Amino acid sequence: MSKPALFRSILVCILAVAASGFGSDLDDRLNQRLKGAWAILEVEVYSACAGTYSDNRVGDAGVAGKAQYRFEAGELVKIDKVNAKRQRVDLLLTLDVPFRTSRVEGPFELFDERQCQVQLIVPVLREEIKAGIDETIVSRFEELITLYPTLDDARDSDSWNGRETEPLPSDYDQTLARYAVWQAEQTNAAVNDAVRRAVNEAADVAEDLSDDSDYLAGFAAGAEKMSTFGTSDCASLLSASLSMHDTKAPEDKETRWRDGWHGGQELIFNVLLAERLQACRVPVPPAP
């Protein structure tokens, strides 16, 4: 390694170590003080409600976020973690009340409950981070959250917006039971269609089988090659096609041999596919 390159590598390492230590003591103290605490948001936030923390940048004009779902001020949250960085402090929060979304699958409207998480990115002067004065940092949060000793205290507060998960339709258990029947029937119909196609394509190859010696030699070689086809999971089998698994014939072989090679692969692929798909049928629950 050249001296300039070595110097750059050393410099990068030094900066990385310095950055990793920035605010680490402050992190520990802030987390001891705030982690696990209940709070009510004084600002609106945005979350994708998809199992990750959605960025919400705090600025003079309020909070800016790009995630799909918007939540009004007054949300009840739990503080999961505090991260102090060079010029900001991040508050990682989980909304206490799940968010219900709906989706349509076939003739059914289904509902999912999602946990929503946000990361409030709070700008803080670098000098304040370096000083590591807890009260200075915590004061930055006062316009964003109000802390409460317990969950019950937070719920009793007039600041809570009162959002609760909406009740499910009264007949939703019946809907889920009918959906389970429909889903199993759809799966079995897809399997039956795939088996039918594979059997028909295998039959077409067998019907067109030639007695030409070069063709048969290539056919045997192609069939042996495809016998190693190893896919067995149902999702992959249902989407499988010959083009995804065949192997090109050797270039030094004659045309008839290569035709046989392709035919052998096609026959064995479809035979194995039809055979393995049999195990992909699922039991249909009794109708409600």
* Domain ranges, ordered by start, for the chain: 22-156, 172-280
User: Cα–Cα distance between 184 and 115 in angstroms, integer?
Assistant: 28
Q: What is the DSSP letter of 85?
A: -
Predicted confidence at residue 59, as pLDDT, reads 92
Predicted confidence at residue 20, as pLDDT, reads 43
User: Cα–Cα distance between 275 and 256 in angstroms, integer?
Assistant: 29
DSSP string, 242-265: HHHH--PPPTTS-HHHHHHHHHHH
Q: Which residues contact 69 (CB under 8 A, 6 or more apart)?
A: 46, 47, 48, 49, 99, 116
User: Cα–Cα distance between 146 and 44 in angstroms, integer?
Assistant: 13
Name residue 37's amino acid. A
Number of Cβ atoms within 10 Å of the Cβ of 207: 7
Predicted confidence at residue 4, as pLDDT, reads 52
> Minimal CA–CA distance to 119: which of 57, 36, 51, 39?
57
Chain length of the chain? 288
Per-residue pLDDT of the chain in tens (288 residues, 90 and over written 9): 555 554 455 434 433 444 444 447 888 888 998 999 999 999 999 999 999 999 999 998 889 999 999 999 999 999 999 998 888 899 999 999 999 999 999 999 999 999 999 999 999 877 777 766 667 778 889 889 999 999 999 999 999 999 999 899 999 999 999 999 999 999 999 999 999 999 999 999 999 999 999 999 999 999 999 999 998 899 999 999 999 999 999 989 999 999 999 999 999 999 999 999 999 999 999 988
Phi, psi of 96 (to 5 degrees): -70, -40
Reported as type and span, the H/E element at residue 197 is helix 172-207
User: Cα–Cα distance between 187 and 284 in angstroms, integer?
Assistant: 10
Burial of 269 (0-12, 13-18, 19+ CB in 10 A): buried
User: Is residue 160 a contact partner of residue 72, using CB atoms and an 8 Å limit?
Assistant: no
C-alpha distances (whole Å) from 157 to each of 87, 153, 171 are 33, 6, 34
